[in-house]
Amino acid sequence: MPSRAKPKPPPSESRPCPGAAVVDLAAARGRVLLRRYARRIRDGLERNREAFLRLYESGLVFTRHGTRMGCDILRAHQRLHKLADQVAGLENSGRLPARARVEALFARVDRLLARSGVLASRNHALFQR
């Protein structure tokens, strides 16, 4: 008596989604993280620009204290630009370097954004007086 069981399809036909691509989730998370840091850097650059503009428009940049604050803000602004270039280079390269190198870059970005935030808040406090 012949078996009524259906024969198994060849392995190529048994795949649920032929032509489906394999996605590297670590790389996808890395790209999302790079975009997030790039956005944070842009926001920090904008805050620095606004803080320096307030110093200049008020005329405080021409005082001793204002000059010191302006130099600190411009220095932080320049460093943020350098980090923005590094992050953009990583985004455009299409591949991420070693995890330790990326984490070191993000740690530098975090420290600089914190410093930049302190400078901007100090500048804001100067105008609240």
Residue 66 is encoded by which pair of tokens?
A: 């204002």
Residue 17 is encoded by which pair of tokens?
A: 């989604």
pLDDT band at 97 (very low <50, low <70, confident <90, very high): confident
Query: Residue 123: is its pLDDT beyond 80?
Result: no
Residue 12's pLDDT is what?
54
Mean pLDDT of the chain: 83
Residue 73's pLDDT is what?
92
CB atoms within 10 A of CB 106: 17
Residue 74's pLDDT is what?
92
Residue 129 is encoded by which pair of tokens?
A: 């007086």
Residue 41's pLDDT is what?
93
Of residues 128 and 105, more confidence is placed in 105
Query: Residue 129: is its pLDDT beyond 80?
Result: no
Tell me the per-residue pLDDT of 23-81, one tens digit each, with 9 for 90 and over.
778 777 888 888 899 999 999 999 999 999 999 999 988 999 889 999 999 999 999 99
Contact 37, 86 (CB under 8 A): no
Torsional sign, CA 83, 117, 68, 108: negative
pTM for this one? 0.72
- pLDDT above 90 covers a percentage of the chain that reads 36
Torsional sign, CA 95, 101, 107, 109: negative
